[in-house]
A = this chain, B = another copy of it.
C-alpha cells in the first residue's frame, strides 16, 4: 500500500447502499469502541505508572486522559440513542484479554511497537464496521479513533532506534508479524462471537476487493498494518 496516504483507511464518503443499519448495529459498534477506549485508558495509565521519567509519566497520563475523553464521547452518543454505556459495553468486556495474553512484550521496544501497531488493528476494524452506520454514529467512531494518540510518542523514538540498529529492526519486524497475526485471530473471534457484525461487515466491505467479506476485511487490515510498519522503516 502506498505510504503517501495520511488517513488511516481509505473509505467511501458515504455508507455503502443496500444495508439499512439498525440502532442495534450502532450500539454494537459503539460498545466495542467504548470497551477498547477503556482498555486503552487502563493500559496507558499503567504504562504511565511505570514510566522512567516524570516527563514521560505526564505524557502517558495525558494520553490515558484522552482515552477517557473518547470514552465520554462514545457514552454521549450512546445516550443520544437512548441507551446506557455500561449495558452497551458489557458484551465486549474482556475483548483484548486473549490478545494480550498471547502478545506479552519482552522489551520496551516490543511494548512500544505493540502500542502502535497492535491495537491499531482493532481500531481499523471498528472504523470498517462503522461505515454502514448512521452519519452521527460513524462520525463519532471515526473522530474518536482517528487520533492514533501514540503516534508522536512512539514513532519518534521507535523509528530512531530502528534506523540505528539493524538487529533490533529485524527482531521488531518479526514481532510486528506476530502482532498482526494475533490481532487478526482476535478479529476472527469477535466476528464469530458477535453474529450481529456479519451483515454489517458485508455492507462495509461491499466496495472492497476479495472473495468474501472477511477476506476483504483482512486485506484491508493487513494493508493498513503494512503502512504503519513502513512508516517505522520495518518490513511488514
Q: Which residues of A contact B (CB under 8 A)?
A: 38, 41-42, 45-46, 48-49, 54-55, 57-58, 61-62, 64-65, 68, 71, 85-86, 89-90, 93
Contact = CB atoms under 8 A, between A and B. Distances in A.
Contacts of A71: 61
Given A45-B64, A54-B86, 7 more contacts: A38-B58, A45-B46, A45-B48, A54-B93, A55-B86, A62-B68, A64-B68
Contacts of A49: 42, 45-46
B41 A61 contact: yes
A23 to B, nearest CB: 21
Contacts of A45: 41-42, 45-46, 48-49, 64
A54 B95 CA distance: 13
Nearest to A90: B54
B54 A89 contact: yes
A41 B85 CA distance: 22
A201 to B, nearest CB: 26
A27 B21 CA distance: 54
B54 A61 contact: no
Contacts of A90: 54
A93 B89 CA distance: 36
A218 to B, nearest CB: 30
A58 B41 contact: no
A100 to B, nearest CB: 12
Contacts of A54: 86, 89-90, 93
